[in-house]
Amino acid sequence: MKNIKTKTLTLLMVIILLGINSGLLFSYYNFYLSDKIVLDLTNAKNQNYESLYNISKKINDKSLNDAVDEIILYTNKHGGYVSLKDGNGTIIYSNKGDFTKLFSSTIIVYIDDLEYELTYSRISILPGMKLIKNFIVYEIILVSTFVIIVFFISSKKLIDPIETITKDISDYKYGKRPFKRKMPKKMQKIQNTFVDMVDKLEIEKDYQNQIIASISHDIKTPLTSVIGYADRLKNKDLSDDKKINYVNKIYNKALLMKGILEEFDDYQSCNIKETLKYEIISIKKICDSISKDFEEELKDKNVSFKMTSSCDNKYINVDVVKLRRVFSNIITNSVTHFKNKPGVICVNISYKSGRIKFEVLDNGGGISNEEDMKRIFEPLYTTDPSRKISGLGLSICKQIISSHGGRIYAQNNSIGGLSIIFILPSIAFNKI
């Protein structure tokens, strides 16, 4: 609406300026220029006729040679251009080669009792041309003024905002963040888009710094233990049992550091959609694979595991390795919340409107805080303050599902825990 109003106002200003210019031109022509041209034309005719009358008095009834001499004397003294033609139109004398561009007057004279045509002109351009030139100069000044005004307005509306945006971009290189400004609509859109982009970059930078700090902290703790146990192993009086114990502790701490780094590598690689290795696979095969991966392991941890599917004959196009990683992260996350009580994990798979819905349920207590529920897929975020790992598991799940064109979310369920739900598109596939 504001853009339309600006365009309408600009158009109205142009129409007003054109109207004023037309009015000034009309007034200038009608009240001054036209009368001046007529006056100049009349004066020029009178001057020509006066000169013709003076010349004709001098040459009438004279011989042709004398007449030509008189004409030359007159033009040398008074100036002007003269042409003398006989009755057949032949030029007898002329001090100007071409009279077609002259404002001239002509009369008949008699020389040697014969008629001759005498043409005279004292000017080489049409009367009023000087005024027309002045008129053109006036128009040039008027148009130039209008252009200057338009340039000034455009510089305020276009050039100044561009310089401001350029300065903000330059300042950002030196750490000064830009901010949103009031500008002409399109310039403001560019400025605000740049500010939004900077904000996202800063958020991403904060995430990266948090990840680096978290990885550093999580590695530093087991690394300190590794150094401590390695230092104890230098003791020559150490018993074999203690040596084996320390070696095992060093090994376990090393595995912990490896797990942290692998989780970080997974988080980075899941950001790259091009790394996915797609494979068309049936839901039945996915169910068999997940059951094989986790059923025995969860049984050993006293966790009841159940998988149900109502769409075994449906197919999806996924990176199977990364999909298994999603299940692994979700199930591992569930196991950490059972707190030594019998756990239940169920995987339910269903089909609706061309999409496959995967739901992983547990009875680990769920999440009561709405803010925590919204943020559990953020990198490094965890609802367990005692947890020492970097908190990238569910974030990795979100990256993988998003890169497959799906979506993932969480909600509390009816069995007293949390449900992680992700949805992926199904494909039509006929086995040959």
Average pLDDT on 21-29 reads 71
pLDDT tens digit string along 39-70?
777 777 888 888 888 888 888 878 888 888 88
Strands 303-309 and 343-352: parallel
Per-residue pLDDT of 118-146, as tens digits, reads 888 876 455 556 666 666 777 777 777 77
User: Tokens in use for 31?
Assistant: 């009240």
The residue-averaged pLDDT of 385-409 equals: 76
The pLDDT value given to residue 39: 77
DSSP 21-64: HHHHHHHHIIIIIHHHHHHHHHHHHHHHHHHHHHHHHHHTTS-H
CA-to-CA separations, 335 to 277, 305, 388, 398, 419, in angstroms, rounded = 29, 11, 15, 19, 13
Q: Which is higher by pLDDT, 125 or 238?
A: 238
Q: Please report the pLDDT score of residue 140 as a whole number.
A: 76
Residue 113 region by backbone torsions, left for phi larger than 0, else alpha for psi between -120 and 50, else beta: left
pLDDT, tens digit (0-9, with 9 covering 90-100), for 327-337: 988 988 888 87
What is the 8-class DSSP label of residue 84? E
Closest CA to 309 of 280, 344, 283, 330: 283
Q: Say if CB 334 and CB 345 are below 8 A apart.
A: yes
pLDDT per residue over 289-319, tens digit each? Answer: 999 888 888 887 889 999 999 999 999 999 9
**How many Cα atoms occupy the beta-carbon half-sphere of 418 within 13 Å?**
24
> Taking 80 as the threshold, does the pLDDT of residue 353 lie above it?
yes
Listed residue (429, 208, 227, 418) closest to 334, CA to CA: 418
What pLDDT score does 33 carry? 66
For 23-42, what is the mean pLDDT? 72
Percent of the chain at pLDDT > 90 equals 15
Q: What is the pLDDT of residue 308?
A: 94
Please compute the mean of the pLDDT values over residues 413-427 and round it to a whole number: 92
pLDDT over threshold 70, residue 270: no
In this structure, of 110-114, 202-206, 394-398, the range with the lowest mean pLDDT score is 202-206
For residue 105, CA distances in Å to 51, 82, 85, 165 come to 10, 10, 14, 69
DSSP-H helix ranges across 155-239 = 160-173, 185-232
- What's the pLDDT at 387? 45
For 104-141, the DSSP string reads: -EEEEEEETTEEEEEEEES-SS-TTHHHHHHHHHHHHH
Q: Mean pLDDT over residues 200-220, rounded?
A: 73
Which token pair is 267? 């988080």
Q: Residue 367 corresponds to which amino acid?
A: I
Chain segment 57-108, per-residue pLDDT in tens: 888 878 888 888 888 888 888 888 888 888 888 888 888 766 665 678 888 8
Average pLDDT over residues 205-214: 71
CA gap 72, 152 in Å, rounded: 60
pLDDT band at 237 (very low <50, low <70, confident <90, very high): confident
Q: What rounded mean pLDDT belongs to the chain?
A: 79
CB 358 within 8 A of CB 424: yes
Entry field: residues in the chain: 432
**Contact call for residues 383 and 372 (beta carbons, < 8 A):** yes
- Greater model confidence, 336 or 288: 288
The predicted pLDDT at position 282 comes to 94
The pLDDT of residue 388 is above 50: no
- Find the Cα–Cα–Cα–Cα dihedral 427, 428, 431, 432, rounded to 10°: -130
* Nearest alpha carbon to residue 405 among 425, 426, 377: 425
Q: Would you state the pLDDT for residue 129?
A: 60
pLDDT of 425 strictly over 90 = yes
Of 349, 348, 352, whose CA–CA distance to 362 is shortest? 348
